Amino acid sequence: MTTGLWVVLACLLLVVGFAVYRVRTDGRFHRRRGAEAGTPAAPTTASVLTGAGIDVPLGDRATLLQFSSAFCAPCRATRRVLGEVVDLVPGVTHLEVDAEQHLEVVRALHVLRTPTTLILDPDGHEVSRASGLPARDQVLAALARVS
Amino acid sequence: MSTQIDPRGQRFAASVTSVVLVAALATAPGALAVTLLSLQAALFATAVALGVQRTPVAAVYRSVVRPRLGPPSHTEDATPPRFAQGVGLVFALVGLVGFLTGVDALGYVATGFALVAALLNATIGLCLGCEVYLRIPTPLIAATTRSTT
């Protein structure tokens, strides 16, 4: 087999592995990895948006904080899904933030891709997050675990 | 406001790209591989310069494929895929430089990256613009933002 064909084979294996991983994890809500174990010294009493220049009222029950960017088709689909959830569940608000305009928050929260959706409790603490386009039922199930 | 496109056309274009890049890798190194890679680079460049809906591949999709599929259930903004085509163009050009200067390893790796991106786009509709931007260090982002505004 030629070098080029080995490269093709390696690419195919990489793509299959990554595609399977993505299809499994996209839109699934989870606690941020390492959020429980790391930095016990930091008292997370402040809202994740404190000092971010994003001064909007949070939802009485939960806030869906969505990070979006310009070159991002699934961000638009996520906006639609979260909008549907807000219409369905009382006390929940949707807040969409342009990641490129708020890079400090993005770094502080370890948001690595868009769309990333954080579920915040009424005090603005992160409860769980999902990257990629979530299904409406995934958001509803994650919200059910908040209260 | 912004141009809307049929997302299935992008999947089709990514499939064509994948086939061309596999053919280029299979025949590399050599004149045929360079020709195929140049052809693909030209397609990427057309998409970046004129828009993803104005490439020859997009024309084939419109006249041959879409009539068999029916109208799209939804349309998408053309900006994200155009950005992705720009990324593809960079990889294809680096690959060309590699094969043309005899640094075949560079040619294989760069063409391989372009193939992985095209295959992920064709299979799961990976949005390259969503993945890479926030991983770029902040100073670089600030630099590009300044230069584009």
CA distance B25 to chain A (A): 5
Instruction: Tell me: pLDDT of A35 over 60.
Output: no
Quick one: pLDDT at residue A42? 44
Instruction: Tell me: pLDDT of B129 over 80.
Output: no
Quick one: pLDDT at residue A108? 87
Q: What percentage of chain A exceeds 90 in pLDDT?
A: 55
Mean pLDDT lowest among A36-40, A140-144, B91-95: A36-40
As for how many domains chain A has, the answer is 1
What's the domain range around A140? 3-144
Question: DSSP code of B78?
Answer: S
Rounded CA gap, A108 and A65, in Å?
Answer: 14
Cα-to-chain-centroid distance, residue B55: 12
Instruction: Tell me: pLDDT of A124 over 70.
Output: yes
Closest Cβ–Cβ partner in B25, B81, B134 for A113: B134
Residue in B1, B134, B140 to test binding to A, most A beta-carbons within 10 Å: B134
Instruction: Tell me: pLDDT of A44 over 80.
Output: no
Quick one: pLDDT at residue A54? 74
Question: Beta partners for A30?
Answer: A129
Quick one: pLDDT at residue A48? 74
Say which residues have a Cβ less than 8 Å from residue B30's Cβ, sequence separation at least 6: none
The B-side interface with A (CB below 8 A) comprises: 7, 22, 24-29, 33, 76-77, 79-81, 83-84, 104, 108-109, 111-112, 115-116, 119-120, 123-131, 133-135, 138, 141, 145
| Three-class DSSP category at A116 | strand
Rounded CA gap, A106 and B11, in Å?
Answer: 30
Q: Any idea what the Cα angle at residue B129 is, between residues B127 and B130, rounded to 5°?
A: 70
In angstroms and rounded to an integer, the radius of gyration of the C-alpha atoms of chain A is 18
Tell me the pLDDT tens digit for each residue of A50-79.
766 777 788 899 999 999 988 788 898 999
Tell me the pLDDT tens digit for each residue of B35-80.
999 999 999 999 999 999 999 999 999 999 999 998 888 888 888 8
